[in-house]
Amino acid sequence: MSDPPPGAPVKVLVFSNRFLLGGQERQTVVHLRTVDRARWQPVVACLHFEGEHLEDLEAIGVVPESLDVRKIVRPQTAWRVMQLAQRLRRERIAIVHAQDFYTNLLGTLAARLAGVPSIVTRVDLRHNLGAAKRAALTAVSRAATRVLVNALCIRDLAIAEGVGSDRVAVVRNGVDLSGFDAERERPPREPVPDRDRPTVVNVANMHHPVKGQEDLIVAFREVVTAIPSAQLVLVGDGVRRPGLERLARDLRITANVRFLGHRLDVPALLARATLTVSSSYSEGISNAVLEGMAARLPVVATAVGGNPELVRDGLTGRLVPPGAPAQLAGRMLDVLGDPEGARRMGEAGRHVVEAEFSVEQMRLSYDALYRSCLETTRPPLLASA
């Protein structure tokens, strides 16, 4: 593989499973939109050509190439990895940047075959992985050139697994504040929260129990007892939604709990909120919490994972233990009962986002990460095609 022409942008393969609605997928889109194209030329590939974010990619002129991999352990997948490695050599792609569990596995292998640096991305605390997948993630993290994390708690986990601290890069999530503010000013689509009611918003998928919406709904019964006009707005969808709706009925608070499903107009919804809440049992850096802070809302969040890195207790919001509905209710009531204090928390949260989670900061972090990868070379295991 020959070097790129002097002054030409370096090709980086950005490799994702698919582009469904999700925090990491959204961060991938933001990265592709803001990466310094004078230095880096992103080449995008995926395992499955599907997802709502494909439209966002098309808007910035990116059409991912699909490897059409449906199962990891099958002969065809090995052939696809071999083809990918040959492409890396043939097209002089200098770095493989995998975005999720499956592409971490396949991308690291293809990069090793081609003799190019690889980046494994980890944005959670492995809460959704069984023992075998955890072991596999640990192995590829040790084998990769760099491990990208978005939270200090994930950095510490990777180091505990045996990844050298010098190979772990913390790249904070970025919020495009100009775009976010513009979306926040637009009217949301129907249905919308009532403007004249105290409104608590939770944005989270309803696929995994780790998001803890049951605790939030139970806690909200206590909020309604104290503030009968309060409404809880749940944004997100998934297989657990019917059970959550049933819980609200059993607690007789259906008039106060609204399920809005998947929404692409979250900033506009946050513009009509009083407070945003995260009730998760595990998190990396939560985009939902970040966007709540960007919208100048106080945040009540469980003190898990990366949440304490975002929510500074008493300054930008309040922290509570996970799995403690009574304490969650108490903190929500504290914030709702102190409008001036809530306003100060919201302004402080916005300042944290501006200072620490801007897209410019993210772009600079990626520049440094990619440059450090280019300093590492390995001999290819595969001859040039």
Q: Cα–Cα distance between 185 and 165 in angstroms, integer?
A: 42
Q: What is the pLDDT of residue 194?
A: 83
Total-model pTM: 0.90
Distances (CA, A) of 74 to 4, 69, 71, 371: 34, 9, 6, 35
Fold classification of 10-174+359-374 is: Rossmann fold (3.40.50)
Q: Which residues contact 238 (CB under 8 A, 6 or more apart)?
A: 205, 206, 207, 208
Q: How many CB atoms lie within 10 A of CB 185?
A: 9
Give CA–CA dist 136/138, Å, rounded.
5
Predicted confidence (pLDDT) at residue 323 exceeds the cutoff of 50: yes
Helix axes 213-226, 241-250, angle to 10 degrees: 30
- Residue 278 confidence (pLDDT): 98
pLDDT at 381: 67
Contact indicator for 232, 269 with CB cutoff of 8 Å: no
What does the pLDDT average to over 197-208? Answer: 95
DSSP state at residue 63 = -
pLDDT tops 50 at residue 234:
yes
Question: In the predicted model, is pLDDT for residue 277 greater than 80?
Answer: yes
- With a cut of 80, say whether residue 5 has pLDDT above it: no
Q: How many CB atoms lie within 10 A of CB 338?
A: 13
Mean pLDDT, residues 288-298: 97
Handedness of CA 114, 115, 116, 119 (dihedral sign): positive
Residue 4, pLDDT score: 53
268 near 191, Cβ under 8 Å? no
Q: Is the pLDDT reported for residue 1 higher than 80?
A: no
Q: Which fold has domain 177-356?
A: Rossmann fold (3.40.50)
- What is the predicted pLDDT for the residue at 237? 95
pLDDT at residue 385 is higher than 50: no
Retrieve residue 307's tokens: 């949440």
At 78-120, the pLDDT tens digits run 999 999 999 999 999 999 999 999 999 999 999 999 999 999 9
Say which amino acid occupies 116.
Answer: V
How far is Cα 85 from Cα 114, in angstroms, rounded to an integer?
A: 5
- pLDDT 10s digits, 373-382: 998 766 676 6
Res. 74: pLDDT tops 90: no
Q: Which DSSP category does 236 fall into?
A: B
Token pair for 278? 């995260």
pLDDT at 318 over 80: yes
The percent of residues above 70 in pLDDT, for the chain, comes to 96
Give the start-to-end residue ranges of the domains of the chain: 10-174+359-374, 177-356
Whether 369 has a pLDDT exceeding 50, the answer reads: yes
Mean pLDDT of the chain: 94
Q: Can you tell me the mean pLDDT for 23-40? A: 93
What stretch of H or E contains 334? helix 325-336
Number of residues assigned to the chain: 385
Q: What is the mean pLDDT of residues 14-43?
A: 93
- The pLDDT tens digits of the residues spanning 150-200 come to 999 999 999 999 999 999 999 999 999 999 999 999 999 888 888 889 999
Q: Hey, do 10-174+359-374 and 177-356 end up sharing a CATH topology, with the first three levels equal?
A: yes
For residue 6, the model assigns a pLDDT of 62
Compute the distance between CA of residue 287 and CA of residue 372 in angstroms, rounded to an integer: 27
Query: Could you read off the pLDDT of 52-62 as tens digits, one per residue?
Result: 899 999 999 99
Q: With contact defined as beta carbons under 8 Å apart, do 45 and 15 qualify?
A: yes
